[in-house]
Chains A and B, each alone.
Chain A
Amino acid sequence: MDILKLLETNSKLTPSQLAVMCDMSVEAVNSKIKEYEEKGIILGYKTIIDWDKTEREYVSAMIELKVAPQKDLGFDRIAERICLHPEVQSVSLMSGGYDLLVVIEGKTMREVSNFVFNRLATMDGVVSTATHFMLRKYKDKGVIYNSDEEDKRGNIL
Protein backbone atom coordinates (compact mmCIF):
# COMPACT_ATOMS: atom_id res chain seq x y z
CA MET A 1 0.00 0.00 0.00
CA ASP A 2 2.88 2.36 0.85
CA ILE A 3 4.31 1.89 -2.62
CA LEU A 4 1.01 2.75 -4.27
CA LYS A 5 0.56 5.86 -2.18
CA LEU A 6 4.08 7.05 -2.95
CA LEU A 7 3.79 6.34 -6.67
CA GLU A 8 0.44 8.06 -6.78
CA THR A 9 2.07 11.31 -5.64
CA ASN A 10 5.30 10.88 -7.62
CA SER A 11 5.68 8.15 -10.24
CA LYS A 12 9.28 9.18 -10.90
CA LEU A 13 10.52 7.64 -7.65
CA THR A 14 12.96 4.88 -8.56
CA PRO A 15 12.62 1.33 -7.24
CA SER A 16 15.70 1.85 -5.10
CA GLN A 17 14.27 5.03 -3.56
CA LEU A 18 10.95 3.29 -2.94
CA ALA A 19 12.79 0.37 -1.37
CA VAL A 20 14.57 2.62 1.12
CA MET A 21 11.47 4.61 1.99
CA CYS A 22 9.30 1.53 2.53
CA ASP A 23 12.01 -0.50 4.23
CA MET A 24 11.94 -3.25 1.58
CA SER A 25 14.49 -4.75 -0.79
CA VAL A 26 14.73 -3.45 -4.37
CA GLU A 27 13.77 -6.89 -5.66
CA ALA A 28 10.66 -6.94 -3.48
CA VAL A 29 9.65 -3.48 -4.72
CA ASN A 30 10.15 -4.50 -8.35
CA SER A 31 8.11 -7.65 -8.03
CA LYS A 32 5.37 -5.78 -6.12
CA ILE A 33 5.14 -3.16 -8.87
CA LYS A 34 5.04 -5.87 -11.49
CA GLU A 35 2.25 -7.58 -9.58
CA TYR A 36 0.27 -4.31 -9.33
CA GLU A 37 0.70 -3.77 -13.08
CA GLU A 38 -0.35 -7.29 -13.98
CA LYS A 39 -3.38 -7.19 -11.72
CA GLY A 40 -4.43 -3.89 -13.27
CA ILE A 41 -4.07 -2.04 -10.00
CA ILE A 42 -1.43 0.24 -11.50
CA LEU A 43 -2.96 1.22 -14.84
CA GLY A 44 -0.40 3.66 -16.13
CA TYR A 45 2.04 6.46 -15.38
CA LYS A 46 1.11 9.93 -16.53
CA THR A 47 2.39 13.46 -16.14
CA ILE A 48 0.45 16.37 -14.71
CA ILE A 49 0.81 19.30 -17.11
CA ASP A 50 -0.45 22.83 -16.73
CA TRP A 51 -1.40 23.37 -20.38
CA ASP A 52 -2.33 26.96 -19.67
CA LYS A 53 1.37 27.71 -19.51
CA THR A 54 1.98 26.33 -22.99
CA GLU A 55 1.00 27.47 -26.49
CA ARG A 56 -1.43 24.61 -26.86
CA GLU A 57 -5.06 25.58 -27.41
CA TYR A 58 -7.01 23.61 -24.89
CA VAL A 59 -10.44 23.49 -23.37
CA SER A 60 -12.18 20.97 -21.18
CA ALA A 61 -15.76 20.44 -20.14
CA MET A 62 -17.76 18.30 -17.76
CA ILE A 63 -20.94 16.85 -19.19
CA GLU A 64 -23.73 15.52 -17.07
CA LEU A 65 -25.62 12.78 -18.89
CA LYS A 66 -29.00 11.38 -18.02
CA VAL A 67 -29.23 7.90 -19.40
CA ALA A 68 -31.97 5.30 -19.66
CA PRO A 69 -30.48 2.13 -18.13
CA GLN A 70 -30.70 -0.99 -20.26
CA LYS A 71 -32.13 -4.28 -19.14
CA ASP A 72 -29.47 -6.57 -17.58
CA LEU A 73 -26.66 -4.20 -18.57
CA GLY A 74 -27.59 -1.16 -16.49
CA PHE A 75 -25.30 1.73 -17.35
CA ASP A 76 -22.27 -0.37 -18.21
CA ARG A 77 -22.79 -0.75 -21.91
CA ILE A 78 -23.38 2.90 -22.68
CA ALA A 79 -20.53 3.95 -20.37
CA GLU A 80 -18.18 1.58 -22.16
CA ARG A 81 -19.20 2.96 -25.53
CA ILE A 82 -18.58 6.53 -24.39
CA CYS A 83 -15.13 5.48 -23.19
CA LEU A 84 -14.15 4.52 -26.73
CA HIS A 85 -13.94 8.15 -27.88
CA PRO A 86 -10.41 9.53 -27.56
CA GLU A 87 -11.77 12.99 -26.64
CA VAL A 88 -13.21 11.50 -23.47
CA GLN A 89 -10.88 11.78 -20.47
CA SER A 90 -13.05 10.20 -17.82
CA VAL A 91 -16.44 8.59 -17.37
CA SER A 92 -18.02 7.99 -13.95
CA LEU A 93 -21.37 6.75 -12.76
CA MET A 94 -22.78 9.24 -10.26
CA SER A 95 -25.38 9.28 -7.53
CA GLY A 96 -27.83 12.17 -7.50
CA GLY A 97 -29.49 14.21 -10.22
CA TYR A 98 -27.85 12.64 -13.25
CA ASP A 99 -26.20 9.35 -14.17
CA LEU A 100 -22.88 9.71 -15.97
CA LEU A 101 -20.25 12.39 -15.57
CA VAL A 102 -18.07 12.67 -18.68
CA VAL A 103 -14.97 14.86 -18.89
CA ILE A 104 -14.01 15.90 -22.40
CA GLU A 105 -10.97 17.70 -23.73
CA GLY A 106 -10.70 19.48 -27.05
CA LYS A 107 -8.88 22.26 -28.84
CA THR A 108 -11.77 24.73 -28.91
CA MET A 109 -15.21 25.21 -27.42
CA ARG A 110 -16.67 24.57 -30.84
CA GLU A 111 -14.93 21.24 -31.06
CA VAL A 112 -16.23 20.18 -27.66
CA SER A 113 -19.76 21.41 -28.43
CA ASN A 114 -19.78 19.54 -31.71
CA PHE A 115 -18.74 16.38 -29.95
CA VAL A 116 -21.56 16.71 -27.43
CA PHE A 117 -24.20 17.46 -30.03
CA ASN A 118 -23.12 14.99 -32.67
CA ARG A 119 -21.74 12.10 -30.67
CA LEU A 120 -23.03 12.05 -27.11
CA ALA A 121 -26.52 13.52 -27.37
CA THR A 122 -27.39 11.32 -30.29
CA MET A 123 -26.42 8.03 -28.65
CA ASP A 124 -29.18 5.54 -27.98
CA GLY A 125 -30.22 5.73 -24.37
CA VAL A 126 -28.96 9.26 -23.69
CA VAL A 127 -31.91 11.22 -22.41
CA SER A 128 -30.33 14.62 -21.81
CA THR A 129 -26.99 16.43 -21.49
CA ALA A 130 -25.76 19.45 -19.57
CA THR A 131 -22.36 20.84 -20.50
CA HIS A 132 -20.12 22.84 -18.13
CA PHE A 133 -16.94 24.34 -19.53
CA MET A 134 -14.04 24.61 -17.11
CA LEU A 135 -12.73 28.15 -16.85
CA ARG A 136 -9.70 27.65 -14.69
CA LYS A 137 -8.01 24.81 -12.84
CA TYR A 138 -6.85 25.40 -9.30
CA LYS A 139 -6.04 21.88 -8.21
CA ASP A 140 -6.00 18.55 -10.01
CA LYS A 141 -4.90 15.07 -8.94
CA GLY A 142 -3.82 16.48 -5.60
CA VAL A 143 -1.55 19.08 -7.17
CA ILE A 144 -2.20 22.78 -6.65
CA TYR A 145 -1.70 24.83 -9.81
CA ASN A 146 0.35 28.01 -9.64
CA SER A 147 1.12 27.40 -5.99
CA ASP A 148 3.43 29.77 -4.24
CA GLU A 149 6.20 27.47 -3.13
CA GLU A 150 8.09 29.98 -1.04
CA ASP A 151 9.25 28.54 2.26
CA LYS A 152 8.10 31.02 4.85
CA ARG A 153 9.38 29.13 7.86
CA GLY A 154 11.78 31.12 10.01
CA ASN A 155 15.30 29.81 10.46
CA ILE A 156 15.01 28.59 13.99
CA LEU A 157 17.31 25.95 15.41
Chain B
Amino acid sequence: MIDYNKILSERTVKLQPSGIRKFFEILDEVKGVISLTVGQPDFVTPWHIREVAMRSLEDGETYYTANNGMIGLRTEISKYLERKFELSYDPKNEVIVTIGGSEAIDLGIRALVNPGDEVIIPVPSFVCYGPMTELACGKPVFVNTYEKDKFKLTPEALKAAITDKTKLLILPFPNNPTGAIMTREELTEIADIIRDTAIMVLSDEIYAELTYGRKHVSFASLPGMRERTIVVNGFSKAYAMTGWRMGYVAAPHEICEQMHKIHQYCIMCAPTTSQFAAIEALKNGDPDIAEMTAEYNRRRRLIVDGLRKIGLSCFEPEGAFYVYPNISGFGMTSNEFCERLLREEKVAIVPGTAFGECGEGFARISYAYSVKHINTALEKIEKFVNKYKK
Protein backbone atom coordinates (compact mmCIF):
# COMPACT_ATOMS: atom_id res chain seq x y z
CA MET B 1 0.00 0.00 0.00
CA ILE B 2 1.26 3.43 -0.86
CA ASP B 3 1.42 5.80 2.08
CA TYR B 4 0.24 8.97 0.41
CA ASN B 5 1.33 11.06 3.38
CA LYS B 6 4.89 10.23 2.48
CA ILE B 7 4.57 10.45 -1.22
CA LEU B 8 2.70 13.68 -1.94
CA SER B 9 4.46 16.99 -2.41
CA GLU B 10 4.88 18.55 1.01
CA ARG B 11 4.54 22.01 -0.38
CA THR B 12 1.25 21.19 -2.05
CA VAL B 13 -0.13 19.28 0.93
CA LYS B 14 0.63 22.31 3.10
CA LEU B 15 -1.54 24.56 0.92
CA GLN B 16 -4.80 25.44 2.66
CA PRO B 17 -7.88 24.41 0.70
CA SER B 18 -10.18 27.31 -0.10
CA GLY B 19 -12.06 28.10 3.13
CA ILE B 20 -15.36 28.51 1.35
CA ARG B 21 -15.64 24.92 0.22
CA LYS B 22 -17.52 23.81 3.35
CA PHE B 23 -20.02 26.67 3.03
CA PHE B 24 -20.68 25.82 -0.58
CA GLU B 25 -21.31 22.20 0.45
CA ILE B 26 -24.04 23.34 2.85
CA LEU B 27 -25.38 25.58 0.09
CA ASP B 28 -25.76 22.53 -2.16
CA GLU B 29 -27.83 20.75 0.52
CA VAL B 30 -30.44 23.46 1.03
CA LYS B 31 -33.20 23.62 -1.55
CA GLY B 32 -34.77 26.78 -3.01
CA VAL B 33 -31.98 29.15 -2.04
CA ILE B 34 -31.80 32.77 -3.18
CA SER B 35 -28.09 32.97 -3.80
CA LEU B 36 -25.97 36.11 -3.91
CA THR B 37 -22.69 34.24 -3.84
CA VAL B 38 -21.57 34.04 -7.42
CA GLY B 39 -18.40 35.86 -8.48
CA GLN B 40 -19.23 36.21 -12.15
CA PRO B 41 -21.54 38.27 -14.38
CA ASP B 42 -25.14 37.17 -14.89
CA PHE B 43 -25.06 38.43 -18.47
CA VAL B 44 -24.46 36.02 -21.30
CA THR B 45 -21.51 36.87 -23.53
CA PRO B 46 -22.83 39.33 -26.16
CA TRP B 47 -24.11 37.58 -29.26
CA HIS B 48 -21.73 39.17 -31.77
CA ILE B 49 -18.81 37.77 -29.78
CA ARG B 50 -20.29 34.27 -29.64
CA GLU B 51 -21.04 34.43 -33.33
CA VAL B 52 -17.44 35.17 -34.25
CA ALA B 53 -16.33 32.19 -32.16
CA MET B 54 -18.82 29.92 -33.92
CA ARG B 55 -17.72 31.16 -37.31
CA SER B 56 -14.12 30.42 -36.42
CA LEU B 57 -15.13 26.82 -35.68
CA GLU B 58 -17.05 26.58 -38.96
CA ASP B 59 -13.99 27.83 -40.76
CA GLY B 60 -11.90 25.14 -39.10
CA GLU B 61 -9.72 27.45 -37.01
CA THR B 62 -8.88 24.64 -34.60
CA TYR B 63 -5.08 24.72 -34.47
CA TYR B 64 -2.68 25.87 -31.74
CA THR B 65 -1.81 29.52 -32.08
CA ALA B 66 1.54 31.13 -31.27
CA ASN B 67 2.41 30.44 -27.62
CA ASN B 68 1.74 33.97 -26.52
CA GLY B 69 -1.49 34.22 -28.53
CA MET B 70 -2.39 35.35 -32.05
CA ILE B 71 -0.57 38.51 -33.08
CA GLY B 72 -3.93 39.97 -34.14
CA LEU B 73 -5.24 39.57 -30.61
CA ARG B 74 -2.06 40.88 -28.97
CA THR B 75 -2.24 43.91 -31.23
CA GLU B 76 -5.86 44.57 -30.23
CA ILE B 77 -4.94 44.17 -26.55
CA SER B 78 -2.11 46.63 -26.96
CA LYS B 79 -4.42 49.15 -28.66
CA TYR B 80 -7.06 48.65 -25.98
CA LEU B 81 -4.60 49.24 -23.13
CA GLU B 82 -3.47 52.44 -24.78
CA ARG B 83 -6.99 53.64 -25.58
CA LYS B 84 -8.41 52.95 -22.12
CA PHE B 85 -5.53 53.28 -19.67
CA GLU B 86 -2.76 55.23 -21.43
CA LEU B 87 -0.45 52.22 -21.42
CA SER B 88 2.02 51.34 -24.12
CA TYR B 89 3.07 47.72 -24.71
CA ASP B 90 4.65 46.18 -27.78
CA PRO B 91 2.33 43.41 -29.01
CA LYS B 92 5.35 41.53 -30.32
CA ASN B 93 7.00 40.78 -26.99
CA GLU B 94 5.24 42.54 -24.12
CA VAL B 95 1.83 40.87 -24.11
CA ILE B 96 0.96 37.22 -23.37
CA VAL B 97 -2.55 35.83 -23.77
CA THR B 98 -3.32 33.56 -20.81
CA ILE B 99 -5.95 31.15 -19.51
CA GLY B 100 -7.91 33.75 -17.58
CA GLY B 101 -6.45 36.28 -15.17
CA SER B 102 -5.45 33.46 -12.81
CA GLU B 103 -2.72 32.11 -15.06
CA ALA B 104 -1.50 35.65 -15.63
CA ILE B 105 -1.10 36.11 -11.86
CA ASP B 106 0.72 32.81 -11.56
CA LEU B 107 3.11 33.73 -14.39
CA GLY B 108 3.90 37.07 -12.81
CA ILE B 109 4.61 35.63 -9.38
CA ARG B 110 6.71 32.74 -10.68
CA ALA B 111 8.72 34.97 -13.00
CA LEU B 112 9.78 37.22 -10.12
CA VAL B 113 9.85 35.34 -6.83
CA ASN B 114 12.95 33.59 -5.49
CA PRO B 115 12.71 31.23 -2.50
CA GLY B 116 12.23 33.30 0.65
CA ASP B 117 11.18 36.46 -1.17
CA GLU B 118 8.31 38.28 0.46
CA VAL B 119 5.15 39.14 -1.45
CA ILE B 120 2.93 41.83 0.07
CA ILE B 121 -0.74 41.01 -0.38
CA PRO B 122 -3.44 43.47 0.74
CA VAL B 123 -6.38 41.56 2.19
CA PRO B 124 -9.24 40.91 1.96
CA SER B 125 -8.68 40.03 -1.65
CA PHE B 126 -9.10 37.24 -4.16
CA VAL B 127 -7.89 33.98 -2.65
CA CYS B 128 -5.18 32.91 -5.09
CA TYR B 129 -2.27 35.27 -4.35
CA GLY B 130 -1.12 33.57 -1.13
CA PRO B 131 -1.17 29.98 -2.39
CA MET B 132 0.51 30.94 -5.67
CA THR B 133 3.24 32.70 -3.72
CA GLU B 134 3.76 29.60 -1.59
CA LEU B 135 3.95 27.39 -4.67
CA ALA B 136 6.71 29.69 -5.90
CA CYS B 137 8.49 29.20 -2.53
CA GLY B 138 7.87 32.82 -1.63
CA LYS B 139 6.45 34.12 1.61
CA PRO B 140 3.07 35.86 1.58
CA VAL B 141 2.92 38.95 3.82
CA PHE B 142 -0.71 39.88 4.32
CA VAL B 143 -1.57 43.52 4.94
CA ASN B 144 -5.03 44.21 6.33
CA THR B 145 -7.21 46.91 4.84
CA TYR B 146 -10.01 48.40 6.89
CA GLU B 147 -13.56 49.66 6.53
CA LYS B 148 -12.52 53.05 7.94
CA ASP B 149 -10.00 53.41 5.07
CA LYS B 150 -12.60 52.27 2.52
CA PHE B 151 -10.56 49.07 2.22
CA LYS B 152 -7.74 50.83 0.40
CA LEU B 153 -4.05 50.07 0.86
CA THR B 154 -2.69 52.96 2.92
CA PRO B 155 0.90 54.25 2.59
CA GLU B 156 1.46 53.63 6.32
CA ALA B 157 0.36 49.99 6.13
CA LEU B 158 2.55 49.42 3.09
CA LYS B 159 5.63 51.01 4.69
CA ALA B 160 5.18 48.88 7.80
CA ALA B 161 5.10 45.71 5.71
CA ILE B 162 8.21 46.38 3.63
CA THR B 163 11.41 44.57 4.63
CA ASP B 164 14.68 44.00 2.80
CA LYS B 165 13.19 40.73 1.57
CA THR B 166 10.18 42.34 -0.12
CA LYS B 167 10.16 41.41 -3.80
CA LEU B 168 6.64 42.04 -4.96
CA LEU B 169 3.55 44.03 -4.11
CA ILE B 170 0.16 42.77 -5.30
CA LEU B 171 -2.34 45.53 -6.08
CA PRO B 172 -5.79 43.88 -6.26
CA PHE B 173 -7.95 46.87 -7.22
CA PRO B 174 -10.84 47.21 -8.04
CA ASN B 175 -11.13 44.68 -5.29
CA ASN B 176 -12.95 41.40 -4.90
CA PRO B 177 -14.58 41.10 -2.28
CA THR B 178 -14.79 44.68 -0.99
CA GLY B 179 -15.46 46.65 -4.18
CA ALA B 180 -12.75 49.13 -3.14
CA ILE B 181 -10.81 51.07 -5.75
CA MET B 182 -7.61 53.14 -5.61
CA THR B 183 -7.65 56.64 -7.11
CA ARG B 184 -4.77 58.21 -9.03
CA GLU B 185 -3.73 60.18 -5.93
CA GLU B 186 -3.77 57.12 -3.71
CA LEU B 187 -1.80 55.07 -6.23
CA THR B 188 0.71 57.91 -6.53
CA GLU B 189 1.36 57.70 -2.80
CA ILE B 190 2.08 53.98 -3.21
CA ALA B 191 4.33 54.71 -6.18
CA ASP B 192 6.29 57.28 -4.17
CA ILE B 193 7.08 54.70 -1.50
CA ILE B 194 8.45 52.07 -3.87
CA ARG B 195 10.05 54.38 -6.45
CA ASP B 196 13.54 54.16 -4.95
CA THR B 197 13.34 50.47 -4.05
CA ALA B 198 13.62 47.31 -6.14
CA ILE B 199 10.08 46.29 -5.27
CA MET B 200 8.00 45.08 -8.20
CA VAL B 201 4.25 45.35 -8.57
CA LEU B 202 1.65 42.95 -9.91
CA SER B 203 -1.48 44.98 -10.58
CA ASP B 204 -4.52 42.75 -10.95
CA GLU B 205 -6.90 44.93 -12.95
CA ILE B 206 -9.44 42.29 -13.99
CA TYR B 207 -12.30 44.53 -12.76
CA ALA B 208 -10.90 47.68 -14.40
CA GLU B 209 -13.96 48.20 -16.60
CA LEU B 210 -16.36 47.90 -13.67
CA THR B 211 -15.94 51.18 -11.80
CA TYR B 212 -18.72 53.58 -10.96
CA GLY B 213 -18.36 57.32 -11.02
CA ARG B 214 -14.70 57.45 -11.98
CA LYS B 215 -12.41 55.77 -14.45
CA HIS B 216 -9.93 53.11 -13.41
CA VAL B 217 -6.30 54.21 -13.26
CA SER B 218 -3.71 51.58 -14.13
CA PHE B 219 -0.74 51.57 -11.79
CA ALA B 220 1.62 51.09 -14.74
CA SER B 221 0.51 54.44 -16.20
CA LEU B 222 2.00 56.39 -13.28
CA PRO B 223 5.37 58.06 -13.90
CA GLY B 224 8.22 55.56 -13.61
CA MET B 225 6.03 52.59 -12.72
CA ARG B 226 5.84 50.82 -16.07
CA GLU B 227 9.30 49.28 -15.69
CA ARG B 228 8.39 47.58 -12.43
CA THR B 229 4.77 46.65 -13.05
CA ILE B 230 3.08 43.55 -14.39
CA VAL B 231 -0.46 44.38 -15.51
CA VAL B 232 -2.98 41.55 -15.31
CA ASN B 233 -6.30 41.90 -17.08
CA GLY B 234 -8.81 39.79 -18.99
CA PHE B 235 -12.18 39.38 -20.60
CA SER B 236 -14.17 37.56 -17.91
CA LYS B 237 -15.69 40.46 -16.01
CA ALA B 238 -15.71 43.24 -18.61
CA TYR B 239 -17.34 41.27 -21.42
CA ALA B 240 -19.13 38.57 -19.37
CA MET B 241 -16.78 35.92 -20.73
CA THR B 242 -15.83 33.90 -17.65
CA GLY B 243 -16.22 30.51 -19.29
CA TRP B 244 -13.99 31.40 -22.24
CA ARG B 245 -10.97 31.57 -19.95
CA MET B 246 -9.33 34.56 -21.56
CA GLY B 247 -6.88 36.76 -19.76
CA TYR B 248 -3.59 38.46 -20.51
CA VAL B 249 -0.53 39.90 -18.94
CA ALA B 250 1.42 42.96 -20.10
CA ALA B 251 4.88 43.76 -18.83
CA PRO B 252 8.34 44.92 -19.95
CA HIS B 253 9.79 42.38 -22.40
CA GLU B 254 12.52 41.28 -19.99
CA ILE B 255 9.81 39.97 -17.65
CA CYS B 256 7.62 38.71 -20.47
CA GLU B 257 10.49 36.60 -21.76
CA GLN B 258 10.56 34.70 -18.45
CA MET B 259 6.77 34.44 -18.16
CA HIS B 260 6.67 33.23 -21.74
CA LYS B 261 8.79 30.18 -20.84
CA ILE B 262 6.46 29.12 -18.02
CA HIS B 263 3.41 29.68 -20.19
CA GLN B 264 4.97 27.78 -23.07
CA TYR B 265 5.75 24.70 -20.97
CA CYS B 266 2.56 24.61 -18.86
CA ILE B 267 -0.12 25.85 -21.19
CA MET B 268 1.15 25.93 -24.78
CA CYS B 269 -1.40 28.54 -25.79
CA ALA B 270 -4.81 29.86 -24.83
CA PRO B 271 -7.81 28.25 -26.58
CA THR B 272 -8.00 29.36 -30.20
CA THR B 273 -11.79 29.73 -30.33
CA SER B 274 -11.68 31.99 -27.31
CA GLN B 275 -8.95 34.09 -28.89
CA PHE B 276 -11.14 34.78 -31.91
CA ALA B 277 -13.97 35.78 -29.58
CA ALA B 278 -11.61 38.06 -27.65
CA ILE B 279 -10.58 39.93 -30.81
CA GLU B 280 -14.24 40.65 -31.57
CA ALA B 281 -14.81 41.76 -27.97
CA LEU B 282 -11.97 44.29 -28.14
CA LYS B 283 -12.96 45.59 -31.57
CA ASN B 284 -16.71 45.95 -31.06
CA GLY B 285 -17.51 45.38 -27.39
CA ASP B 286 -17.39 48.90 -25.96
CA PRO B 287 -21.18 49.43 -26.13
CA ASP B 288 -21.71 46.10 -24.33
CA ILE B 289 -19.45 47.20 -21.51
CA ALA B 290 -21.27 50.52 -21.21
CA GLU B 291 -24.64 48.82 -21.04
CA MET B 292 -23.61 46.19 -18.50
CA THR B 293 -21.80 48.71 -16.31
CA ALA B 294 -24.85 50.98 -16.23
CA GLU B 295 -26.96 48.04 -15.12
CA TYR B 296 -24.47 46.99 -12.42
CA ASN B 297 -24.41 50.55 -11.18
CA ARG B 298 -28.19 50.67 -10.75
CA ARG B 299 -28.12 47.39 -8.82
CA ARG B 300 -25.18 48.61 -6.75
CA ARG B 301 -27.10 51.68 -5.61
CA LEU B 302 -30.20 49.59 -4.94
CA ILE B 303 -28.41 47.04 -2.79
CA VAL B 304 -26.25 49.50 -0.82
CA ASP B 305 -29.32 51.58 -0.06
CA GLY B 306 -31.33 48.46 0.82
CA LEU B 307 -28.70 47.14 3.22
CA ARG B 308 -28.31 50.52 4.91
CA LYS B 309 -32.07 50.85 5.35
CA ILE B 310 -32.08 47.42 6.98
CA GLY B 311 -29.53 48.82 9.39
CA LEU B 312 -26.33 47.17 8.19
CA SER B 313 -23.34 49.43 7.91
CA CYS B 314 -22.17 49.17 4.34
CA PHE B 315 -19.16 50.87 2.86
CA GLU B 316 -19.98 52.25 -0.61
CA PRO B 317 -18.11 50.14 -3.16
CA GLU B 318 -16.86 51.95 -6.26
CA GLY B 319 -15.82 48.94 -8.33
CA ALA B 320 -16.41 45.28 -9.23
CA PHE B 321 -19.89 43.86 -8.48
CA TYR B 322 -19.76 43.20 -4.77
CA VAL B 323 -20.87 44.90 -1.60
CA TYR B 324 -19.16 44.09 1.67
CA PRO B 325 -21.46 44.95 4.58
CA ASN B 326 -20.41 44.90 8.22
CA ILE B 327 -22.33 42.12 9.99
CA SER B 328 -20.44 42.18 13.28
CA GLY B 329 -23.27 43.56 15.44
CA PHE B 330 -25.20 40.33 15.93
CA GLY B 331 -23.05 38.36 18.35
CA MET B 332 -22.29 35.85 15.63
CA THR B 333 -19.17 35.09 13.65
CA SER B 334 -19.40 35.72 9.91
CA ASN B 335 -19.69 32.00 9.37
CA GLU B 336 -22.52 31.63 11.87
CA PHE B 337 -24.33 34.64 10.44
CA CYS B 338 -24.13 33.34 6.89
CA GLU B 339 -24.97 29.76 7.80
CA ARG B 340 -28.05 30.80 9.80
CA LEU B 341 -29.17 33.21 7.11
CA LEU B 342 -28.91 30.33 4.68
CA ARG B 343 -30.78 27.82 6.83
CA GLU B 344 -33.43 30.18 8.22
CA GLU B 345 -34.15 32.54 5.32
CA LYS B 346 -32.59 30.58 2.47
CA VAL B 347 -30.43 33.46 1.36
CA ALA B 348 -26.80 32.69 0.57
CA ILE B 349 -24.02 35.26 0.96
CA VAL B 350 -20.32 34.59 1.40
CA PRO B 351 -18.77 34.95 4.88
CA GLY B 352 -15.91 37.46 4.80
CA THR B 353 -13.61 34.87 6.34
CA ALA B 354 -13.61 33.05 3.00
CA PHE B 355 -11.10 35.77 2.10
CA GLY B 356 -8.95 35.31 5.18
CA GLU B 357 -9.21 36.08 8.89
CA CYS B 358 -9.41 39.80 8.17
CA GLY B 359 -12.88 39.18 6.74
CA GLU B 360 -14.33 38.38 10.16
CA GLY B 361 -17.31 40.63 10.80
CA PHE B 362 -18.09 41.07 7.11
CA ALA B 363 -19.83 39.28 4.27
CA ARG B 364 -19.58 39.54 0.52
CA ILE B 365 -22.77 40.01 -1.44
CA SER B 366 -22.66 39.81 -5.21
CA TYR B 367 -25.06 41.93 -7.24
CA ALA B 368 -24.50 40.05 -10.46
CA TYR B 369 -28.19 39.15 -10.23
CA SER B 370 -31.47 40.59 -11.49
CA VAL B 371 -33.15 43.47 -9.66
CA LYS B 372 -36.07 41.18 -8.82
CA HIS B 373 -33.71 38.60 -7.31
CA ILE B 374 -31.89 41.29 -5.31
CA ASN B 375 -35.14 42.75 -3.95
CA THR B 376 -36.39 39.33 -2.83
CA ALA B 377 -33.09 38.67 -1.08
CA LEU B 378 -33.14 42.07 0.63
CA GLU B 379 -36.60 41.38 2.07
CA LYS B 380 -35.39 38.12 3.54
CA ILE B 381 -32.19 39.63 4.91
CA GLU B 382 -34.27 42.32 6.58
CA LYS B 383 -36.43 39.70 8.28
CA PHE B 384 -33.32 37.91 9.51
CA VAL B 385 -31.65 41.08 10.75
CA ASN B 386 -34.78 42.17 12.63
CA LYS B 387 -34.89 38.80 14.36
CA TYR B 388 -31.33 39.03 15.68
CA LYS B 389 -30.91 42.76 16.08
CA LYS B 390 -29.48 43.66 19.49
Measuring CB to CB, which residues of chain A are less than 8 angstroms from any residue of chain B? 2, 6, 10, 13, 17, 20-23, 151, 153-157
Contact = CB atoms under 8 A, between A and B. Distances in A.
Contact of A157 (B35, B42, B127): B127
Contacts of A2: 298
Given A155-B27, A157-B20, A157-B350, A21 B39 contact: no
Interface in B233-263: 242
Contact of B298 (A21, A155, A156): A21
A21 B301 contact: yes
A146 B358 CA distance: 44
Given A21-B298, A157-B176, A157-B354, A151 B35 contact: yes
Contacts of B176: 157
B377 to A, nearest CB: 13
B386 interface: no
Given A157-B126, A157-B127, A157-B354, A10 B298 contact: no
Interface in B346-386: 350, 354-355, 371-372, 375
14 contacts: A10-B371, A20-B302, A21-B371, A153-B38, A153-B40, A154-B38, A155-B20, A156-B38, A157-B20, A157-B127, A157-B176, A157-B177, A157-B354, A157-B355
Contacts of B178: none
Nearest to B21: A155
Contacts of A17: 302, 375
A26 to B, nearest CB: 11
A156 B302 contact: no
Nearest to A13: B371
B103 to A, nearest CB: 15
Given A17-B302, A20-B301, A153 B42 contact: yes
A155 B37 contact: yes
B38 A155 contact: yes
B388 interface: no
A2 B185 CA distance: 32
B298 A6 contact: yes
Nearest to B42: A153
Contacts of A20: 301-302, 305-306
